[in-house]
Amino acid sequence: MRTVYVNGEYLPENEAKISIFDRGFLMADGVYEVTSVLDGKLIDFDGHAKRLERSLNELDMPHPAVLPDLLDVHRELVRLNGIEEGMIYLQITRGAPDDRDFAFPDPATTTPTVVLFTQNKPGLANNPVAQKGIKVISIEDQRWARRDIKTVQLLYPSMGKMMAKAAGADDAWMVEDGAVTEGTSNNAYIVKGNTIITRNLGNEILHGITRAAVLRFAREAQMQVEERSFTIAEAQGADEAFITSASTFVMPVVEIDGAAIGTGTPGPIAARLREIYLEESRKVAV
C-alpha cells in the first residue's frame, strides 16, 4: 500500500480523504504536475516547480505554505514508497470552502488542498514501446483556450485517448484551424531531414518541461530546430515523428491516421534524442 501526502500528512492511501466541497472535485479548479523518478532521483524537478508556480499565478490561486518544501516532500515520498523508477503526481486545488459556489472562496478562510502520490513503474527508462514506436490518430482540438496552464481539466484529453484506443491507435494528436496543437498528454514533433519541427509556444499548447530540455539538447547536438505549426498532411510526409512528456521522455511516432511515417519504424533522430535526454537528465537529477 502506498504512502501518500495530503495537506501536510503522510498517510496510507486508503486513509487519504478530501472534502466533497473541494473545488478540484466540483469545478476542476486545480493545477498539477507529474515528475519522473529515475534511479530514485527526480528528473527536471526545478522546471516542474517553476511551471507549477506559473500555473498558480495564472489562475490567481493562493500559493500553499508547503510550496517551498515540495522538493523535500517529493524525496520523502520516493523514500517511503521505495521508488526507483516511476512518477510523482502533485495536485493543488483552490481548496474546500463550506459550500459549492462559482465564485472563488476567500483565501483568508480557505486554504489550498495539496495532494501527492507516487506511481511505481519499473522499466520506465527502458520502455520497449520506444523500440517500435506508437500510432496516433488526429482529432479536433475542443479544449479551452488556456492550454498553457497545466490544469486538471483533462476530460477531453481522456476522451481523445479513448478515441485512439477505439481506432486501434495509441494516442491522438489534436488539430485546430488545420494545424496540430499537441498530443493528449504530450508535445508533438516531426522531423524533415535534420530539422526538428514543433509547435511554437503560446496559449494553445502546454509549455512542456521535457520539451524545453529536449530542444536544448537537440540544439547542443547541432540539430536544427524550427518552432512553427504543421499540418497532419505535412506530418504524414515527414521523415520521422515523435512526442515528448515527463512519462514517455522521447517516444517515436510511426503512424498517423493510418499512414506510415518514413519507413514506418522509429527514426535515428528520435532514438538519439531519447538517448541524450535520459543520459543528461540523470546527470542532474535530484
Sign of CA dihedral 159, 160, 162, 163: positive
**What CATH number is given for 128-284 in this structure?**
3.20.10.10
Q: pTM for the complete prediction?
A: 0.94
Active site residue 283: no
Give pLDDT, residue 120.
97
Task: Give the residue-averaged pLDDT of 265-278.
Answer: 97
Q: How confident is the model at residue 112 (pLDDT cuts 50, 70, 90)?
A: very high
Residue-wise pLDDT tens digits, 198-257: 999 999 999 999 999 999 999 999 999 999 999 999 999 999 999 999 999 999 999 999
d(CA 205, CA 104): 26
Give pLDDT, residue 179.
98
Identical fold between 3-120 and 128-284:
no
DSSP run (H or E) holding 252: strand 249-256
Quote the strand ranges of 54-206, DSSP E: 85-93, 113-120, 134-140, 171-176, 179-183, 187-192, 195-198
Closest-CA residue to 135 (of 231, 264, 269, 244)? 264
Residue-wise pLDDT tens digits, 160-191: 999 999 999 999 999 999 999 999 999 999 99
Q: Which residue has the cell 481548496?
A: 95
Q: What is the dihedral of CA 24, 78, 66, 48, to 10 degrees?
A: -70
**Helix/strand/coil for 215:** helix
d(CA 190, CA 139): 17
Domain 3-120 class in CATH: alpha beta
Q: Where are the domains of the chain?
A: 3-120, 128-284
Residue-wise pLDDT tens digits, 30-51: 999 999 999 999 999 999 999 9
Q: How confident is the model at residue 13 (pLDDT cuts 50, 70, 90)?
A: very high
% of the chain residues with pLDDT over 70: 100
Q: How confident is the model at residue 106 (pLDDT cuts 50, 70, 90)?
A: very high
Catalytic residue selected from 150, 161, 192, 283 = 150
Q: How confident is the model at residue 126 (pLDDT cuts 50, 70, 90)?
A: very high
Query: Looking at the DSSP assignment, which residues form a beta bridge with residue 241?
Result: 190, 253
Cell output for 158? 481522456
Give pLDDT, residue 215.
98
